[in-house]
Structure 1
Amino acid sequence: MSFKEKYARLGERYERIDGPLERFFDPLRRKAAGFVSGKVLEVGVGTGFMLPYYPRDIELHAIDAVPEMLEAARRRARELGLNARFYIMEAENLEFPDESFDTIVSTFVFCTVPDPERAMREVYRVLKAGGRAVFLEHTRSDCRLINWLFLKPLDVFLGFLLEDDTLRETHRLVREYFEVEHEESHYKGIVRLIVARKPKKS
């Protein structure tokens, strides 16, 4: 079963799984939203956990590959009075012209997308030169003991449940494409906030 089928089955019940963790992620989401401006794309909006934190003066566009998740996000946006456009779309195939956005946001997405390298190329493509990419992601820990005793067992469970890969090194992948301006490692590197720029054209 693909990750899209698993998330579709969960629908809004996904919030019961991830919701308890939000007290840990809430301050990081708020901080991530502070780097956002202009015309913004959120890649993998899910049920819309990031929506309450966005500034109201941005032009927000959001995509997700799972229609059931996207519909939950759309309802949340209406409840918040947030003006946003939603699209059923995969991160690996963003149906936007080159250099369409001032800011791109990804929160806990690159642990799930089947082809993170291709998805990162797409983020790079649709971001304007000099634009900002903001990543809040699960990553492999800096501590080997944590990887073996915590992340590997969690990886088996979440892999079965959601096709999540908690041991990906998204922080290293970001560095291959963008100029990192700011990086924070939390919980021994299990979660990282990365703010990066697409280089301006020479």
Structure 2
Amino acid sequence: MDHPDQDARTRAIWARTAPRYDTWMRRFDRWMLCDGRRWLCSQARGRVLEVALGTGLTLPHYPEDADLTGVDLSPDMLARARRRADDLGIGITLAEASATRLPFPDGHFDTVVCVLALCCIPDDRAAVAEMHRVLAPGGTLLLVDHVISHRFAVRLLQRALDPLMVTLADDHQLRRPFHLVREAGFTVRHRDRYSLGIIERLAAVKPAA
């Protein structure tokens, strides 16, 4: 099912954000995400799909032999990802596509990666289901995102900020991807939280048929 109005809103948000995104993310990475990108990408193997690639900040962290594909709904973000890949000499297939409607057959990838994106995808449950669909049996899902904290004071602040952030940027502060990953049929192999419980990273496996 297509969602043209929501897709247009998402593209407009990221068209405004794209010129400043790398500057913001470098600060966020330094203070909050820390080694999250490197931790995820170092585990990627075989045919790798990154969902919501953005400007390609993960690209330097992938193994040299990874067969990379990246999708993003925003052409502005993808254009920056292409320039980054070219500058780094990294081969990657890029496609403009929604995370909830991935243009790939079932079981096509060995690894799916998603970094700080489920928080901004309106239908995060559908996105996780699509990641499950395109992974081969035995394939690995690697996620890192900001989530609702387990610390009471931090959680109160997130609840206060959530309406504003959703209105301005579709950036949800109260998501719990761990539960969606399990509901989709994955077996979670690793889960940890850090940065006051705001950052969560997961490694999960699609069980063999």
Normalising by structure 1, report the TM-score: 0.94
**Structure-1 residue corresponding to 2:103:** 95
Cα deviation, residue 10, structure 1: 2.0
Distance 1:53 1:106 in 2: 14
Question: Does residue 1:71 correspond to 2:79, yes or no?
Answer: yes
Larger deviation, residues 159-168 vs 87-96: 159-168
In the alignment, the residues of structure 2 paired with residue 161 and residue 111 of structure 1 have an alpha-carbon distance, to the nearest angstrom, of: 13
Please say if residues 2 and 163 of structure 1, whose CA atoms lie closer than 8 Å, have aligned partners that are also in contact. Answer: no
Aligned residues: 200
For the residues of structure 1 that align with 2:97 and 2:64, how far apart are their CA atoms? 24
Match status 1:53 vs 2:61: yes
Equivalent residue, structure 2, for 1:40: 48
* 1:72 match: secondary structure: helix
* Equivalent residues of 1:12, 1:72 under 8 A apart: no
Pairwise CA distance, 1:55: 0.8
Matches within 5 A, 1:74-153: 74-148=82-156, 150-153=157-160
Structure 2 gaps, min length 5: 1-7
Alignment partner, residue 193 of structure 1: 201
Letter of the structure 2 residue corresponding to residue 65 of structure 1: L
2:192 alignment partner, one of 184, 187, 194: 184
Taking only the aligned residue pairs, the percentage that are identical comes to 35
Q: What is the Cα deviation at residue 3 of structure 1?
A: 2.5
Consecutive unaligned residues of structure 1, counting only runs of 5 or more, are none
Contact 2:10 2:74 in 1 (8 A): no
Q: Which amino acid aligns with 1:155?
A: D
Pairwise CA RMSD: 1.4
Letter in structure 1 aligned against 2:196 = K
2:17 to 10, 18, 30: 10
- Equivalent position of 1:20 in the other structure: 27
Would the aligned equivalents of 1:133 and 1:196 in 2 still touch at CA under 8 Å? yes
Matched to 1:154, the amino acid is L
C-alpha displacement of 1:11? 1.9
- 2:118 aligned counterpart, secondary structure: coil
Residue by residue over 1:38-58, the C-alpha shift from the partner in whole angstroms, topping out at 9 and shown as x without a partner, is 000000001111111111101
The alignment partner of 1:119 has SS state of: helix
Corresponding letter in the other structure for 1:170: P
Structure 1's consecutive aligned runs of 4 or more residues displaced over 3 angstroms after TM superposition are none
Q: TM-score normalised to the size of structure 2?
A: 0.91
Corresponding residue for 2:4?
A: none
Shift of residue 187, structure 1, vs aligned partner: 1.9
Letter matched to residue 21 of structure 1 = F
Distance, in Å, in 2 between the alignment partners of 1:83 and 1:172 is 34
Does structure 1 residue 172 correspond to structure 2 residue 179? yes
119-128 or 8-17, larger mean C-alpha shift = 8-17
Q: 1:2, 1:125 → 2: CA distance?
A: 26
The 1-side partners of 2:27 and 2:20 are apart by 12
Q: Write the distance in 2 (CA, Å) between the matches of 1:175 and 1:4.
A: 29
Offset at residue 26 of structure 1 (A): 4.1
In structure 1, distance between residues paired with 2:83 and 2:58: 13
Residue-by-residue CA offset, 1:75-122 (whole Å, 9 max, x unaligned): 001111111010000000001000000000000111011111111111
Whether the aligned pair in 2 keeps the contact of 1:184 and 1:193 (CA below 8 Å) is yes
Cα deviation for residue 27 of structure 1 reads 1.0
